[in-house]
Structure 1
Amino acid sequence: MLDGALVRLAVAATAPFGADVLERLAARHDVAYLLTRPDRPKGRGRRLGPPPAKETAERLGIEVRQPERLEDFDPEEATVVLAAYGALIPEPVLDRALWLNVHPSLLPRWRGAAPIERALMAGDAETGTTIIKLVPELDAGPIAAQSAFAVGEEDDYASIAARTAELGVELLDGVLPEPAFMPQPSEGVTYAERRSGRTTACSTGAARRRSSSTASVPSRRTSARAPSCTGGRSRSGARASRKGSSCRSRCSRTGGGE
């Protein structure tokens, strides 16, 4: 950390992006445990397999907690950092700790499940990471920190995922253990739906696409493809993520975020 203070916290993560954040946090802070989703059937044999974040935690010797239901979950720690957990955190549980969400976009742009994919597909000139307080409304919590970087011609999903994860941990260094918050702007809210066979993007108005990037849309769509939750490492060695739900109806049930 910048001030040399070690903070004890818990991490809630499931998908590869969350696994990357977990590993980076564990190198800088005291991670008490990982909260992650239960093992799920995978592959052709449909055998139970651990989520990527669990694999990372076990490799690092971090305790893993996998409750089927969260209604009675006691965080125990004062702070929980959430990154691509993949499920709604019940409001009573939110009240039991400070929950900080590492969201890989410049909120309020690209709230929802696939902000990295959508930023690439829309041809955004810049993206970044936002640290927010987790609230019941999808990715609408007050902002503790935010930082942007330019999206280069050679950037793809993996490179952006790695950069936003590292930036998220750096931002946490600057705000822990007692962040100050400011409300999110009410203007410019858009929603990032997970990619499917047909590409769409939800927003509070119409779907928005940068006119200057229309020529690069096919290549953007290719570079925006996220790996599955069980595979893919970025060029920097960090696992990239795809966590899912679809826009407002399903994202609101999973807590949003990539």
Structure 2
Amino acid sequence: MRIGFAGTPEFARVALAALADAGHVLPLVLTQPDRPAGRGLKAQASPVKQEAERRGLPLLQPRSLRLDGKYPDEAAAARAALAAARLDVLVVAAYGLILPAWTLAAARHGALNIHGSLLPRWRGAAPIQRAIEAGDAQTGITVMRMDTGLDTGPMLLERALPILAADTAATLHDRLALLGAQMIVEAVPAWAEGRLLERPQPAEGATYAHKIDKAEALIDWAEPAAVIERRVRAFDPFPGSLLMQGGEPIKLWRAEALVDAAAGEAPGTCVSAADGLVVACGQGRLKLLELQRTGGRRVSVADFLRGRPVPAGTVLGGRPLK
């Protein structure tokens, strides 16, 4: 089949590679423009761009697809390229740009989206992180036909995946990316041949996964230990979870919630530094396991404390107490 592809990060790259390996023709790939990244802030190609160039696939990087927007020439060029590609299906995965109605009609069988949740739960930009943060027992992949709403289109395939107790956004992302790639390879020919039935999303249970903001990184010790621990995993690798110690920002990458522990001390107080670093929370206590100083690397709390002791009774900074 002739498949157009629109995507940007690693989640999308895995799907693009799977479609190419399945033998489909990919006459056009859309991805976002190169962005500054790393310490030197050099322009860096997206994972999808790197995969497309490695395979010699035609590539466009418009800054917008809105014909009435800020970059109408780039949008018009993309529209002409999509029309010339004579697509059977357009596959979209974490593209990051709004798709106008004309893009959804650019392929003979419409546009299919690979979404990293069990819709209608966690529509939006950060479904993987929000599922972990909320303490969901499972998530999954939904392949849907796109409409003009935000992740509101009818569903074609859904498969669940358990969220493990140790899952971070990174580990869950990788498992979902593989599942999504397998599902889209299955879904594309089945949809084109009429072997998949559309199911409208149920009205109940819809939630929105807001984009992760760096401001969310700062830990609020007044929250329950279990909530903080989930957020630590949800924000790994971005933006990380941040505490303040002696005026210095420290990233917390791994922790254990001691939910049955009494927390008589003020939230943020270091209760013990003998076996890890135990901090009082609004409910329960949090045992810190892996920390990172600015410019340093992730280290165990034992290694961290050897270079920077934190006496019991020290109050760690975070968000103002509620």
TM-score (norm. length: structure 1): 0.74
Aligned position for 2:216:
198
Aligned position for 2:36:
41
**Which AA in structure 1 matches 2:230?**
R
**Which AA in structure 2 matches 1:198?**
E
Map Cα deviations across residues 47-95 of structure 1 (whole Å, 9 max, x no partner): 3322221112212332211123423314231211111100001112212
Structure number, greater radius of gyration: 2
CA RMSD of aligned residues (A): 2.2
**Alignment map for 1:143-162 (pairs within 5 Å):** 143-162=155-174
- 1:218 partnered with 2:232: no
**Larger RCO, structures 1/2 (Cα 8 Å, 6+ apart):** 1
Larger mean CA deviation between 132-141 and 8-17 belongs to 8-17
CA separation in 2, counterparts of 1:45 and 1:154?
33
**Alignment map for 1:170-249 (pairs within 5 Å):** 170-177=182-189, 178=192, 179-196=196-213, 197-198=215-216, 216-227=226-237
- Verify the 8 A CA contact 1:8 1:29 in the aligned structure 2: no
Aligned position for 2:15:
21
Aligned position for 2:97:
87
Structure 1 SS opposite 2:216: coil
Between Structure 1 and Structure 2, which shows a larger proportion of strand residues?
2
CA separation in 1, counterparts of 2:100 and 2:120?
22
Structure 2 SS opposite 1:176: helix
Structure 2: tracts of 5 or more residues without a match: 68-75, 218-223, 240-322
Structure 1 SS opposite 2:98: coil
Over 3 Å counting, the alpha-carbon distance change for 1:226 and 1:84 in structure 2 is farther
Structure 1: tracts of 5 or more residues without a match: 1-6, 200-213, 230-258
Aligned identity (percent) is: 40
CA separation in 1, counterparts of 2:95 and 2:23?
19
CA separation in 1, counterparts of 2:21 and 2:229?
35
Aligned position for 2:51:
56
- Verify the 8 A CA contact 1:15 1:84 in the aligned structure 2: yes
TM-score (norm. length: structure 2): 0.60
Over 3 Å counting, the alpha-carbon distance change for 1:165 and 1:194 in structure 2 is same
- CA displacement at 1:117 relative to structure 2: 0.1
- CA displacement at 1:130 relative to structure 2: 0.2
